[in-house]
Structure 1
Amino acid sequence: MKVSKQNAEHYVWGDACDGWHLVKNGPLSIIHERMPAGATEVRHYHEQSRQFFFMLSGTATLEVDGVPIVLVPQEGVEVPPLTPHQMLGSTTEPVEFLVISSPTTRGDRVTI
């Protein structure tokens, strides 16, 4: 079965940010996320989950263990378990990106 933003399970997080579960099972999670201009994620880490963030559109900064990494479309960064991180959206444009997690982050997030 094909999956897209149009038929995937949708949820809202933070201040008007969107997420679409493209794949949602125990060992693997793939989420398409959208952040409006000026949005930021809460700094956190995952105890078990390894994540890969891949930018689809816009420019954002992924802060990983205190190091800011600017991501433009077609660039990505891996974040190991236990590593503090935070996505900082653009101040001028919405951004869209994929978050691939293994295992799923459900119940695995620790806010700092």
Structure 2
Amino acid sequence: MEIRALSDQQPFTTKDGSTIRSILDLANAPVEKQSLAEATIPAGGATERHWHKDSEEFYFILEGCGSMEIDGEARDVGVGDAILIPAGAWHQITAVDSLRFLCCCAPPYRHEDTYFE
């Protein structure tokens, strides 16, 4: 049985510029097909626009509000919103108010699978 407390996870900055605390991923658990992390972005901040060749992502907004752009289409997002980011889709999330959200990746997140313009 694998159980990880969020409070025990150390934050790090991903290649896209968000601050992440891995909950279950390749670095801390015997995962094979997915990963789960908490991401935070301060008010006025944004991830760098990027895409993933292999990973499909879900974002689930826990706190704050902002704007989600996927392949040129932008929509406002807030608490309770779930967002699908298909593999290969350019995307960027911008925080109006500080954002805290869950990020699920399948296959698991890897820095090497993050591409920029």
TM-score range, shorter chain: 0.7 to 0.9
Unaligned runs of 5+ in 1: none
Total equivalences in the alignment: 108
Equivalent of 2:104, from 86, 91, 100?
Answer: 100
TM-score by length of 1: 0.87
Give yes or no for contact 2:33–2:107 (8 Å, CA) kept in 1: yes
1:56 to 62, 73, 82: 62
Q: Greater CA deviation, 102-111 or 3-12?
A: 3-12
Q: Decide whether the 8 Å contact of 2:25 with 2:109 is kept in 1.
A: no
Structure in which a larger fraction of residues adopt strand: 1
Deviation (angstroms), 1:105: 2.7
Equivalent residue letter for 1:110: Y
Which letter does structure 2 place at the counterpart of 1:24? D
2 CA distance for matches of 1:71 and 1:2?
Answer: 30
C-alpha deviation, 1:59, in angstroms: 0.5
* Partners of 1:9 and 1:22 within 8 A in 2: no
- 1:103–1:97 Cα change, 3 Å: same
Gaps (5+ residues) in structure 2? 27-31
